[in-house]
Amino acid sequence: MKVELDAVSARHPAARPGAARALNALSLQVPAGTAVAVIGPSGAGKTTLLQVLACAMPPAAGALTLDGVAPWQLPRRALQRLRGRLFLAPQVPPLPPRQRVVTAVLAGRLPAMSLWASLRSLFYPSDIPAAHAALDRFDLADKLFERVDRLSGGERQRVGLARSLLAPASLWLIDEPLSALDPLRAQQALDALIDEARTRGVTLVATLHQVDAALAHFPRIVGLRDGAVAFDLPTAEVTPEHLARLYAQHEDELTGAAPAPEPVPAAPPRTAPAVMHCR
């Protein structure tokens, strides 16, 4: 799916009046079947960008088109159909706690299923081999029949990613896929996502805090700051200077260092307690 944003601005419905826009006249093109990593400091607008692309939030200004179609001008049912071709993986996947992993993964197919088939699949998983194969890409096949609430945070995150492989989508929007993964799992997960997206001709837009991982795996990097594109370059052309400017005043996020501790307010000078006379 081809993605085009032209001077798009967006503001969260819950934002304080007068708060800065989360996206500010942002323009971006992503050709069909390509992969791009979006990096930038906390609050830059990465998640908001994915929400706008997923048609979960309408732009306040500017134009969004997906395969040349303006989603917010479509009739409601056509917009629903289009949303079925988009897959948004939030940072923390919304998995019902008592559900089996196999059911949670197969839920990725729900947009392509009739109401009856989707209800049936809640009780009788329809394609267990497909769920097994998707989990295997994320080294989680042994958890096929485990309950979701018995998984670690990282395992749940990988279940959310495995779900993308079942989704009938041509645009994957993946928000911070590595936030709960150790370095080895993170590398495997990115390899699997990028490889599967390329094989299927799916467009992949992923936000990442791990700049090293973005540079190592993605062919193109978009740096986002204050809701606008700071740079949009082939990975080989991204320099330390680009990164230093992007993360200025947020250097701890670039280096992965723990943020500097909040300054502790100085204790008030100790004085002898004042004698109070009560009458």
Binding residues for ligand ATP (CB under 6 A): 12, 14-15, 19, 22, 40, 42-48
Q: Which is nearer to ligand ATP, 196 or 226 (CB)?
A: 226
Q: Which is nearer to ligand ATP, 42 or 114 (CB)?
A: 42
Q: How far is the CB of 80 from ligand ATP (least distance, A)?
A: 24
Please check whether residue 207 is in contact with residue 50, taking contact to mean a CB–CB distance below 8 angstroms: yes
| Burial tier of 42 (Cβ tally within 10 Å: 0-12, 13-18, 19+) | exposed
Q: How far is the CB of 245 from ligand ATP (least distance, A)?
A: 16
Residue 263's Cβ-side half-sphere holds a number of Cα atoms within 13 Å equal to 3
Q: How far is the CB of 273 from ligand ATP (least distance, A)?
A: 45
Q: Which is nearer to ligand ATP, 8 or 101 (CB)?
A: 8
Q: How far is the CB of 19 from ligand ATP (least distance, A)?
A: 6
Q: How far is the CB of 88 from ligand ATP (least distance, A)?
A: 13
Alpha-carbon gap, residue 50 to 52, rounded angstroms: 5
Q: Which is nearer to ligand ATP, 47 or 121 (CB)?
A: 47
